[in-house]
């Protein structure tokens, strides 16, 4: 599986959300988007669920979050 990485740490709202949703629009069907962000993006989770994506969030030791997003099969 191909992974595309997107680092949105430190960007002010709504830039992280906009960058993530724009990246998902161009993501190939077989690819995953790995996002690194400085806070947990709860509003994003609702949008992902409503638009057919699955995700796995991991809290990192440095206080950031890593989110792996894929299209549902």
Domain CATH for 7: 3.30.110.40
Write the secondary structure of the chain as one string of H (helix), E (strand) and C (coil). Answer: CEEEEEECCCCCCCHHHHHHHHHHHCCCCCEEEEEEECCCCHHHHHHHHHCCEEEEEEECCCCCEEEEEEECC
Supply φ then ψ for residue 49, to 5 degrees.
-65, -40
What contacts 15, CB < 8 A, 6 or more positions away?
A: 8
Q: For residue 26, give its domain range.
A: 2-71
pLDDT in tens, 14-43: 999 999 999 999 999 899 999 999 999 999
pLDDT in tens, 5-18: 999 999 999 999 99
Q: Report pTM.
A: 0.94
Number of domains in the chain: 1
């Amino acid at each position: 599986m191909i992974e595309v990485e997107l680092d949105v740490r430190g960007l002010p709202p709504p830039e992280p959300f906009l960058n993530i949703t724009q990246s998902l629009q161009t993501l190939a069907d077989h690819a995953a988007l790995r996002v690194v962000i400085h806070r947990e993006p709860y509003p994003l989770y609702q949008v992902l669920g409503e638009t057919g994506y699955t995700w796995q969030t991991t809290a990192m030791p440095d206080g950031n979050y890593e989110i792996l997003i894929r299209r549902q099969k």
